[in-house]
Structure 1
Amino acid sequence: MSTTGLLVLASLLLFAGMLLGVSGWQQPRPSLERCVRYLRRPAPLPVADAAAPLTIRLGDLAVQTQIGERALRWQQPLRLIGRTVPTHVGLLMLAAVGGLIGPALVVGILSTIGLLSISVVVPLGLSLLGAAAAPFAVHSDAISRSDDVRIDVRHQLSAYLDMVTMLLAGNTGHEGALQQAARAGDGVLFTELRRRMREVGTTGNSLVGALAIVGEDFGVVELTQVAAAAQLSAAEGAPVARTLTAKCSTLRSTLAAEEEANARVRNDKVTPPLVGMALLFMALIIYPALNL
């Protein structure tokens, strides 16, 4: 590579490193209006399983096998994004087929046109890599979206417990407080609580059982613990308000600790761009001296 080309490449890398460093170091703080709009967002519509029939059919066939039965453990996180296990397995199979055929097809077309001339080993390696990487990307995206929904549900749970404790402080019965607090929000948790409370209420059981059901559906351990503590307090005659207040304080501390840990992780991601910038500066300073 010529000296000019090397300087151009070093300048581009330097600019990219500076851009990454500045964008990672100065994260914009969300405005108050944006936060208020997010809190007042409308309730999400139920997510329908809109996958193609072929995808669902392939997933059903795969789930019936011994290997596909292991995918049933993904049922809980996939439920948060409105996707069934057969649909997810079908998407993974299609992604694997696409990753296997895609690179070989592109390389074959380029070789036929004459733009590329390589051996058979390279397309084979790219196909195997694509067959492994494509399903991994699809599954990682689904799990990441599910984790985001679960974090949102936990924040909604904190607001729900606040409302319950305020209603209990106003001499409202614990079941009445649980039901009225469920009507105060429009998030996923509040919508699911109202639905489960209607189902539990029609059977004549306590509304506390609805909290346990929603906690199991969403995989939120704190909600299941709140349901167990409230049920035990009501059975033993202990003050439910004090128990729920303690649970709300514990949940807030946990959420604050997780937010702090995530902030530290984001700060650590700034280190590689800064190190890259320092190396580029050193290369720009040392390279002219080597040519003398």
Structure 2
Amino acid sequence: MSPLLWPMLAGGLVGLGLYLFVRAWMRPRPGVATVVARIDAGSRSMQTHTLSEFDTSFAEMSARGRSVMTALADRLEVVAARRGWEMRRHRADLTILNRSVGAMLATKIASGLIMLLAAPLVWGALRLGGLEVGPSVPLALGLLLALGGFFLPDLSLRSEADKRRREFRRTVGIFLDLVAMNLAGGRGLPEALLAASSVSDHWSVVRIRQTLANARLFGTTPWEALGRLGKDIGLEELESLSGALLLAADDGAKIRASLTARATTMRRKELSEAEGDEGERSQSMLVAQMLLVVSFLVYLAYPALMALMSEQAM
């Protein structure tokens, strides 16, 4: 194998990365189809993809880093619209976190670059430690780390989205109780929904309130807007609530008792899930304690075993 192969391959990969980065950073000229798609996406976003103060894509960065990442996210948003990258697998997770496709792509690229730059540092530390590591190791290690860093935000996105859904599910249970109380006070169903969503400034309640307000502006029914919101964020409880409210509006069903029963069922389900999580944590703690005990016993018995083995050897 030629000794120039690895440097040439590394230079080609670096050049390809720089070319893709420059192409993403340059402002592309959107076509007619792209503009129409962005207008259509904006129209849909005004109905369900409402924003709140919890859009924390780059909140932990400095002002300079946040501006750079925001600009990169805007460029990637246009590129994704032109290429038709919808990221359907992550669409519900991005929606519940109020993050755009461009912000997700910018995070993935930044994470991959950081992990790629960590490979030469690891290689240099190994060389300083006295280990003879060939020049091909940092390239292979850098590619593996960059690949892992590129997909690492996907795991973080899923974890944060699941936490938000659990929090949103608790809010829906409380929201149903408040709607039932407003119905008992003599209000109509649309007024009861809007009044129940106005009692708090929690991010999930704000999301529901904005959805109901936008439904009124666009002339759609509140239960249709709630059902679309539940579908967009991947929350089945909101979708089933939309069906129940639709029956109440069309057939005049006893919605108050139905909402109370639904809220009770959700609380019981949440309580059972919490008990299951606590049980898993208790088992994990038990296993950790057993490992500590076994390690301590091995520590105590090791000198005696070594002395016994030395006597038998003599």
Q: Indicate the TM-score class for this superposition, using the shorter chain for normalisation.
A: 0.7 to 0.9
**Aligned twin of 1:227:** 242
1:160 aligned onto 2:175? yes
Q: 2-side partners of 1:234 and 1:62: how far apart?
A: 40
2:80–2:101 Cα contact (<8 Å) kept: no
1:242 aligned onto 2:257? yes
Q: 2-side partners of 1:273 and 1:83: how far apart?
A: 38
TM-score, normalising length: structure 1: 0.74
**Aligned twin of 2:145:** 130
1:55–1:90 Cα contact (<8 Å) kept: yes
**Range moving further from structure 2, 185-194 or 45-54:** 45-54
Q: 1-side partners of 2:287 and 2:262: how far apart?
A: 40
Instruction: Mark the runs of 5 or more structure 1 residues left unpaired by the alignment.
Output: 1-42
- Could you list the per-position Cα deviations for residues 76-133 of structure 1 after superposition, in whole angstroms to 9, with x for gaps in the alignment? 211222321222123213322332332134414763x675432345434532431233
Please state how far the C-alpha of 1:161 moved relative to its aligned partner. 0.7
Change (3 A) 1:119 1:204: closer
Q: 1-side partners of 2:245 and 2:263: how far apart?
A: 12
1:208 aligned onto 2:226? no
2:86–2:101 Cα contact (<8 Å) kept: no
Q: Secondary structure at the match of 2:87?
A: helix
- Could you list the per-position Cα deviations for residues 18-47 of structure 1 after superposition, in whole angstroms to 9, with x for gaps in the alignment? xxxxxxxxxxxxxxxxxxxxxxxxx96252
- Could you list the per-position Cα deviations for residues 202-244 of structure 1 after superposition, in whole angstroms to 9, with x for gaps in the alignment? 3444322232233233321101111111111221121111221
Count of residues paired in the alignment:
247
2:115–2:142 Cα contact (<8 Å) kept: yes
Output aligned runs, 1:1-292, within 5 Å.
45=53, 47=55, 51-58=69-76, 61=79, 69=85, 71-108=87-124, 111=127, 115-120=130-135, 122-292=137-307
Q: 2-side partners of 1:99 and 1:277: how far apart?
A: 34
Q: 2-side partners of 1:288 and 1:110: how far apart?
A: 34
Q: 2-side partners of 1:198 and 1:92: how far apart?
A: 34
1:75–1:84 Cα contact (<8 Å) kept: no
Change (3 A) 1:191 1:55: closer
Q: 2-side partners of 1:157 and 1:180: how far apart?
A: 14
- Could you list the per-position Cα deviations for residues 56-92 of structure 1 after superposition, in whole angstroms to 9, with x for gaps in the alignment? 43565467558xx373321221122232122212321
Q: Secondary structure at the match of 1:269?
A: helix
Change (3 A) 1:190 1:59: closer
Please state how far the C-alpha of 1:254 moved relative to its aligned partner. 1.7
* 2:172 alignment partner AA: L
Change (3 A) 1:155 1:62: same
**Aligned twin of 2:13:** none
2:55–2:98 Cα contact (<8 Å) kept: yes
**Range moving further from structure 2, 246-255 or 222-231:** 246-255
Please state how far the C-alpha of 1:171 moved relative to its aligned partner. 2.6
1:179–1:197 Cα contact (<8 Å) kept: yes
**Range moving further from structure 2, 275-284 or 102-111:** 102-111
**Aligned twin of 1:35:** none
TM-score, normalising length: structure 2: 0.69
Q: 1-side partners of 2:125 and 2:81: how far apart?
A: 35
Identity %: 27
Change (3 A) 1:62 1:104: farther
Q: 2-side partners of 1:217 and 1:70: how far apart?
A: 13
* 1:229 alignment partner AA: A
Please state how far the C-alpha of 1:245 moved relative to its aligned partner. 1.5
* 1:237 alignment partner AA: G
**Aligned twin of 1:24:** none
